[in-house]
Amino acid sequence: MLAKKLFTLVFINKEDQILLGLKKRGFGINKWNGFGGKVEPNETILEAAARELNEECCVSVKPSDLKNIAHLEFTFEGQPTLMDVRVFSTNVFEGNPKETEEMLPKWFKNTEVPFDDMWPDDRIWFPYMLQGQKFFGKFHYEGFDKILNYKIEEIDCM
Ligand code: 6U4
Ligand code: NA
Ligand code: NA
């Protein structure tokens, strides 16, 4: 049996740009990604998403302004855990992104996303997100660089 762990991942949009952060420590170090982390036992997923965003780049959102746009599952060959990642986006936010201990934030044009320096799955599913198509994606990794297999399903609601 795989032990499921819940994570959040938040993308802030402004005109034709998306806010990414360069992860400075821990899981996914040196990769650009959205903002997020583990859901704590005392909070809802939306509360966790807003909290992690604020802790990691000092941007504030109301949990109710976050739209659930995708559901991702990651498994790793030989490892007993499944990462269950809930993905959100919004263009309603307050504050200018600031560097923290965990992340260096930067705006990227939607057409200039730095896929070479991101999780390999991102280049597969970002096009769905950027087109506004909701989806469920499952990726099975060997180590952290190689996708052994994956599946993506478009969905209409979550
Ligand atoms: P701490 O212990 O505070 O450093 P925490 O911030 O709670 O950790 P973290 O940063 O380890 O959690 O969470 C991992 C983040 O990376 C979540 O936002 C989900 C995201 N993530 C994990 N695997 C991913 C993958 N393959 N592709 C992707 N995002 C991934 O795009
Ligand atoms: Na994090
Ligand atoms: Na965090």
In this prediction, residue 157 carries a pLDDT of 76
In whole angstroms, give the CA distance from residue 158 to residue 146: 28
Instruction: Give CB contacts under 8 A, 24+ apart, made by 51-55.
Output: 52/8, 52/10, 53/10, 53/12, 55/100, 55/102
In whole angstroms, give the CA distance from residue 117 to residue 33: 9
Which listed ligand is nearest to 51 at the C-alpha?
3
In whole angstroms, give the CA distance from residue 98 to residue 149: 36
What's the CA-to-centroid distance between 36 and ligand 2, angstroms?
5
Our mutation pick for probing the ligand 1 site, out of 85, 135, 144, counting the most ligand atoms within 8 A of Cβ, is 85
Nearest CA residue ID for atom 25, ligand 1: 119
Pair 21, 104: CB distance under 8 Å:
yes
Full-prediction pTM beyond 0.95? Answer: yes
> For 100-151, what is each residue's pLDDT tens digit?
999 999 999 999 999 999 999 999 999 999 999 999 999 999 999 999 999 9
> For 62-108, what is each residue's pLDDT tens digit?
999 999 999 999 999 999 999 999 999 999 999 999 999 999 999 99
In this prediction, residue 158 carries a pLDDT of 73
> For 19-65, what is each residue's pLDDT tens digit?
999 999 999 999 999 999 999 999 999 999 999 999 999 999 999 99
Structure tokens at 100: 């923290």
In this prediction, residue 60 carries a pLDDT of 98
> Which parts of the chain fold into alpha helices (H)?
45-57, 122-130
